[in-house]
């Protein structure tokens, strides 16, 4: 494999052509070796993902067509689409679905507006912005279960400080409200906790998008006499749009599959039941593996459909 001095002739000679061919062959062998090595690196992860995610997902699809029960090894019967018909005609599921959609739209909507305001505030240069950005991480780091418990205490009907502030300090309402008992107030409380917990995350994602906008764009538009509102709608918003869409994807998926917040905040009461709580109830509570799997498949398909819509929107933007 040693390179000879005559490997650099002015005119190509037959021997050089041969050597080139051999070099190309060894290069492709080298590439093949690298490719094989890369597959060796990736293989364990692919195997594990197949085992802990794809096989169970396939099983969920398969079981949703049967009358399987959890913890029973009796032979299972094939039901066709019967489970889906049962689920879709169950008013509890329809209620849970409606509630989850409404929860997703309202909480993600509020988080988007509030997150944008916070991101714009942090992005404007002022002393103490680091402290503010740090404070954003506190709600994010607190486990959802813990934040549900914290707010459960704040929403307490007799001793909770939310009633105390509203009744005794601000005199907005005359009587204390049992927030977590009524179905509308419990839903509002759930949205409030979710907004508190995840707005900071939204703000940080949007802030990252804002920080890559070059400042001279703003300077140029200031010279042209653009107002701040004009700058926001015509410069900031279009330029932050990709980051905004990505943040929306993540938050929509998270809100739609939410489980721990409604489960802990109201003790899994039917009034705040989301589709995830419903599915777990059928799967584990009633041990109906087949029927619960059908609900799980419906949730999976809805989320897959939403991801598809969002990515189409993103690709459309890029073109």
Partner 1 sequence: MADTLRTGAKPFTPEQIREMSSAKVRKRTAGEYIERGLFWLLVAGIIGYTIFPFYYAILSSLTPSNDLFATPAVYWPTSLTWTHYRTVLSDDIFLYGLRNSVIVSFGSVALALIIGSFAAYGLGRFKFRGKTPILYIILSMTMFPAVAILGSLFRMIRGDWFLNTPNVFNSWWALIFTYLTFSLPFTIWVLTNFFKAMPRELEEAALVDGAGPFRTFWQILLPLAAPGIVTTGLLAFIGAWNEFLFALTFTQDEGARTVVVVISQYAGNSQFELPFAKRMAAAVLVTLPLIVLVLIFQRKIIAGLTAGAVKG
Helices (H), 155-288: 161-163, 183-211, 215-223, 228-231, 237-256, 260-265, 275-280
The minimum distance between CB 247 and partner 1, in angstroms, equals 6
The nearer residue to partner 1, 186 or 193, going by C-beta atoms, is 193
By residue count, the chain amounts to 319
The minimum distance between CB 29 and partner 1, in angstroms, equals 15
Rg over alpha carbons for the chain, rounded to the nearest Å, is 29
The nearer residue to partner 1, 17 or 32, going by C-beta atoms, is 32
116 binds partner 1 (CB under 8 A): no
The SS3 assignment for 127 reads coil
Site for partner 1, residues 274 to 293, rule: CB under 8 A:
275-276, 279-280, 283-284, 289, 292-293
* CA max distance for the chain: 100
Residue 75 burial class via C-beta count within 10 angstroms: exposed 0-12, middle 13-18, buried 19 and up? exposed
| x/- track of binding to partner 1 for residues 75-94 (CB under 8 A) | --------------------
Please list the residues that pair with 78 across neighbouring strands.
66
> Rounded CA gap, 157 and 185, in Å?
12
User: Of the candidates 155, 112, 136, 127, which has an alpha carbon nearest to the alpha carbon of residue 272?
Assistant: 155
The nearer residue to partner 1, 185 or 300, going by C-beta atoms, is 300
**Could you say which of 29, 105, 307, 309 contacts partner 1 (CB under 8 A)?**
307
Binding window for partner 1 (CB under 8 A); candidates: 2-10, 90-98, 116-124, 178-186: 116-124
242 binds partner 1 (CB under 8 A): yes
Q: Tell how far CA 272 is from the center of its chain.
A: 20
Site for partner 1, residues 133 to 192, rule: CB under 8 A:
133-151, 153-154, 156, 159-161, 164, 168
CB 266 within 8 A of CB 235: no
| x/- track of binding to partner 1 for residues 246-275 (CB under 8 A) | xx-xx--x--xx-xx--xx----------x
**Could you say which of 103, 104, 187, 200 contacts partner 1 (CB under 8 A)?**
200
The nearer residue to partner 1, 13 or 222, going by C-beta atoms, is 222
232 binds partner 1 (CB under 8 A): no
């Amino acid at each position: 494999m040693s390179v000879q001095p005559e490997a650099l002739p002015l005119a190509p000679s037959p021997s050089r052509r041969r050597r080139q061919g051999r070099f190309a062959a060894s290069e492709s062998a080298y590439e093949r070796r690298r490719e094989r090595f890369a597959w060796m690196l990736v293989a364990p992860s692919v195997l594990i993902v197949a085992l802990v995610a794809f096989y169970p997902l396939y099983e969920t699809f398969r079981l949703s067509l049967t009358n399987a029960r959890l913890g029973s090894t009796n032979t299972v019967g094939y039901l066709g689409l019967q489970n889906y018909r049962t689920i879709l005609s169950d008013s509890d599921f329809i209620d849970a679905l409606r509630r989850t959609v409404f929860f997703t739209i309202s909480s993600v909507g509020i988080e988007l507006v509030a997150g944008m305001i916070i991101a714009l505030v942090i992005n404007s240069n002022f002393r103490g912005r680091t402290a503010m950005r740090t404070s954003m991480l506190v709600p994010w780091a607190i486990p959802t279960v813990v934040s549900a418990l914290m707010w459960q205490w704040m929403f307490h009907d007799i001793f909770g400080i939310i009633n105390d502030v509203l009744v005794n300090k601000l005199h907005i309402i005359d009587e204390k409200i049992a927030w977590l008992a009524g179905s509308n107030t419990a839903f509002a409380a759930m949205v409030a906790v979710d907004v508190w917990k995840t707005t900071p995350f939204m703000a940080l994602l949007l802030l990252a998008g804002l920080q890559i906008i070059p400042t001279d764009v703003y300077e140029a538009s200031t010279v042209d006499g653009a107002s701040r509102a004009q700058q926001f709608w015509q410069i900031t918003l279009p330029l932050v749009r990709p980051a905004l869409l990505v943040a929306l994807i993540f938050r929509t998926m998270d809100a739609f599959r939410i489980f721990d917040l409604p489960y802990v905040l109201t003790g899994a009461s039917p009034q705040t039941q989301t589709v995830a709580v419903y599915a777990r109830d059928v799967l584990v509570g009633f041990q109906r593996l087949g029927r619960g799997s059908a609900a799980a498949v419906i949730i999976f398909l809805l989320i897959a459909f939403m991801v598809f819509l969002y990515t189409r929107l993103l690709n459309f933007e890029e073109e």
